[in-house]
């Protein structure tokens, strides 16, 4: 069945009858549309959370028979689905059909028999399975991959593509989060929620950021939000007759101090009692206080925050933008990968551009196309109904939540053209005087002298790229100009013209300078063998390796 694209229009700008069953000719079909969620964000989050609550994580012996393993677990109830993966050992994620099965399994589980060390008793949903007879089983399980492809594999895939558009879609396919990886992310949040629930029984730990906003790549960090709203609402809603009952609570002078106290205690708890959570750091003096830790079994680097509802809302907004048009994610993934390949982004915090800022730049760029590929946030606000109304800490976070109410764009530009135009647009952007603003989809005067100013869509007085230095911005501009130029040269050729030479996206990923020398004069290109050598050297170089070994930031 052909996916129906839901694109956009503001009321009054595109006629009602533009809604089509077919994609407009020339629009991109990635083949992954069925992976793009069309549900409301809140619906998707609730469904996945409920699934995760029926799921367990099991560390398995190296050699295990899948059939016997499943038979053994089925004693506790039917299994909905499961998968195995490797991360310093073999792990299984098993989703039961009913929550009761998890309880039944827990009831049958023993505390580990101790040697010299003493176990802190904790009944979690993270288990260790041992074989009574070590030698009888043979390993025969299929592994689900949780890692991004190596640069070598990616280059092979890109070289096999038939067009630049194919290359961008292939890159997306290689890097996007898989169904299994997404399940593992929700499960990890759910396991952390169990810990936090020891203090706050009605809390919810929700993933946000790239894990859920459709722009996550394999290996990206896991941003979590400890939502205590339910707990807070309990103390305000229950009134009856002339009486008002309140909980006795401790009071602190500010919201920030409350956040710091809560995170401090949860951090201690994760450090002391939570199996698999290591390297716990409390970063409580940051603008947005957080607890950072590594969840060993899943391999995720986790950032836990609380009182961070706006970030969850911005994830929801990005989710909508990512789901509206199949070109958006392909372009965002490509720009992020390109930036990482040229060390414009880094896993270390600093003066670099972040993935989040790059995503905003792509969204903004797509809003400026004619006709626009993405609607402005103001436009999404006008489409909102009463249910969508949302004010957080005095900030207007109202926008339409139902994807089906956003009309198709008529724009049919190819990814190749968009990529080239993206580089041209930002290679020539007046960063010295203008800011980027997805609320209006128009350049605005910069309110301060930060080199790069990207307005936070909800906290509109904040600049999401305040950290970026002038030299990092200049590096971005130089590389954007060079990349636009390379793609212009390519217009003359294409894969069929290039023989063994790197072309399209591959040429853009080579170290800067390599291209200028070799592609500078179309007619005096280096011999194919030499170009391939450059490519292979770049694959081998640390620099190129770096960009697949980091967590994508
Ligand atoms: N965020 C924000 N303002 C910032 C930085 C982050 O509002 N200056 C919010 C965004 O909602 C962002 C989330 O916090 O998506 C998580 O931040 P981060 O992990 O830095 O970005 P991701 O979008 O998750 O991308 P990455 O894959 O690099 O982790
Ligand atoms: Mg993140």
Q: Which of 65-69, 171-175, 198-202, 531-535 has the highest mean pLDDT?
A: 171-175
DSSP reduced 3-state for 537 = helix
d(CA 393, CA 458): 10
301 lines ligand 1 (CB under 6 A): no
Out of 16-30, 265-279, 280-294, 440-454, least confident range: 16-30
| DSSP-derived pairing of the beta strands 90-96 and 55-60 | antiparallel
- CA 217 / ligand 2 centre spacing (Å): 10
Q: Which atom of ligand 1 is nearest to the CA of 221?
A: 29
- Give the model's pLDDT for residue 153: 94
Out of 156-170, 330-344, 450-464, 515-529, least confident range: 515-529
Q: Which ligand is in closest contact with the Cα of 225?
A: 1
358 lines ligand 1 (CB under 6 A): no
d(CA 316, CA 457): 12
214-241 burial by CB neighbour count: b if 16+ within 10 A, else e?
bbbbbbbbbbbbbbbeeeeeeeeeeeee
Q: Which atom of ligand 1 is nearest to the CA of 310?
A: 7
Q: In what order do the strands lie in the sheet with 55-60?
A: 79-86, 90-96, 55-60, 126-128
> 285-330 pLDDT, tens per residue?
999 999 999 999 999 999 999 988 999 999 999 999 999 999 999 9
495 lines ligand 1 (CB under 6 A): no
Q: What is the ipTM of this complex?
A: 0.98
334 lines ligand 1 (CB under 6 A): no
- Give the model's pLDDT for residue 133: 74
DSSP reduced 3-state for 161 = coil
* Protein residue whose Cα sits closest to atom 8 of ligand 1: 464
346 lines ligand 1 (CB under 6 A): no
In terms of C-beta density within 10 A (0-12 exposed, 13-18 middle, 19 or more buried), how is residue 338 classed?
A: buried
Q: Which residues in 420-512 belong to E strands, given as ranges?
A: 434-435, 444-445
45 lines ligand 1 (CB under 6 A): no
Q: Look at 334 and 491; give whichever has higher pLDDT.
A: 334
CB–CB of 349/221 below 8 Å?
no
Angle between helices 355-367 and 326-341 (to 10 degrees): 140
On average, the pLDDT of the chain sits at 85
∠ CA 217-402-32, rounded to 5°: 35
d(CA 198, CA 415): 49
* Protein residue whose Cα sits closest to atom 1 of ligand 1: 311
∠ CA 263-292-181, rounded to 5°: 115
**Residue among 385, 351, 483 at smallest CA distance from 428:** 483
d(CA 236, CA 247): 9
This prediction's pTM? 0.87
Copy the structure tokens of residue 172. Answer: 């997306």
* Protein residue whose Cα sits closest to atom 7 of ligand 1: 311
Expressed in percent and rounded to 5, the helix, strand and coil fractions of the chain are 45, 15, 45
* Protein residue whose Cα sits closest to atom 15 of ligand 1: 209
Instruction: Report the Cα–Cα distance between both ends of the chain, in Å, rounded.
Output: 36
224 lines ligand 1 (CB under 6 A): no
């Amino acid at each position: 069945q052909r996916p129906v694209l839901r694109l956009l229009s503001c009321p009054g700008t595109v006629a009602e009858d533009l809604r089509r069953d077919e994609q407009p000719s020339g629009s991109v079909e990635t083949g992954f549309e069925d992976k793009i969620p069309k549900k409301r964000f809140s619906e998707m989050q609730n469904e996945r959370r409920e699934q995760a609550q029926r799921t367990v994580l099991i560390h398995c012996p190296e050699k295990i028979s899948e059939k016997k393993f499943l038979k053994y677990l089925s004693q506790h109830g039917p299994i909905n689905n499961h998968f195995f993966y490797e991360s310093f050992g073999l792990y299984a994620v098993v989703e039961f059909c009913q929550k009761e099965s998890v309880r039944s399994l827990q009831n049958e589980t023993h505390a580990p028999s101790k040697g010299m060390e003493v176990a802190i008793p904790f009944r979690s949903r993270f288990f260790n399975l041992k074989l009574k007879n070590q030698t009888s089983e043979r390993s025969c399980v299929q592994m689900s991959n949780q890692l991004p492809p190596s640069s070598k594999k990616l280059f092979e895939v890109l070289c096999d593509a038939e067009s630049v558009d194919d290359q961008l879609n292939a890159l997306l396919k290689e890097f996007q989060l898989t169904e299994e990886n997404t399940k593992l992310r929700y499960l990890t949040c759910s396991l952390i929620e169990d810990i936090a629930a020891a203090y706050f029984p009605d809390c919810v730990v929700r993933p946000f950021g790239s894990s859920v906003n459709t722009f996550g790549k394999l290996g990206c960090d896991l941003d979590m939000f400890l939502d205590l709203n339910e707990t807070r609402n309990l103390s305000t809603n229950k009134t009856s007759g002339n009486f008002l009952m309140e909980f006795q609570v401790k009071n602190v002078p500010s919201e920030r101090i409350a956040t710091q106290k809560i995170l401090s205690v949860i951090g201690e708890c994760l450090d002391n009692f939570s199996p698999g959570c290591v390297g716990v750091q409390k970063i409580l003096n940051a603008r947005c206080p957080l607890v950072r830790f590594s969840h060993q079994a899943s391999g995720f680097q986790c950032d836990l925050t609380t009182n961070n509802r706006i970030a969850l809302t911005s994830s929801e907004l990005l989710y909508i933008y990512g789901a509206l048009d199949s070109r958006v994610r392909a372009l965002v993934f490509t720009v992020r990968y390109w930036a990482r390949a040229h060390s414009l982004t880094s896993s270390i915090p600093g003066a670099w551009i972040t993935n989040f800022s790059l995503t905003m730049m792509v969204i903004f760029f797509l809003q400026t196309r004619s006709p626009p590929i993405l609607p402005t946030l103001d436009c999404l606000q006008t489409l909102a109904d009463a249910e969508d109304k949302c004010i957080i800490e005095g900030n207007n976070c109202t926008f339409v939540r139902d994807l089906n109410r956003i009309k198709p764009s008529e724009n049919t530009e190819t990814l190749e053209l968009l990529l080239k135009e993206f580089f041209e647009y930002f290679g020539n952007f007046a960063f010295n005087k203008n800011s980027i603003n997805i609320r209006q989809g128009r350049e605005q005067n910069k309110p301060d002298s930060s080199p790069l100013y990207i307005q936070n869509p909800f906290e509109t007085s904040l600049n999401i790229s305040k950290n970026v230095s002038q030299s990092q911005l200049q590096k971005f501009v130089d590389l954007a100009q060079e990349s636009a130029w390379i793609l212009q040269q390519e217009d003359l050729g294409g894969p069929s013209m290039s023989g063994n030479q790197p072309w399209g996206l591959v040429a853009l990923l080579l170290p800067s300078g390599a291209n200028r020398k070799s592609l500078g004069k179309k007619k005096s290109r280096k011999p194919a063998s030499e170009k391939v050598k450059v490519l292979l050297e770049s694959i081998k170089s640390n620099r190129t390796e770096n960009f697949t070994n980091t967590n994508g930031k």
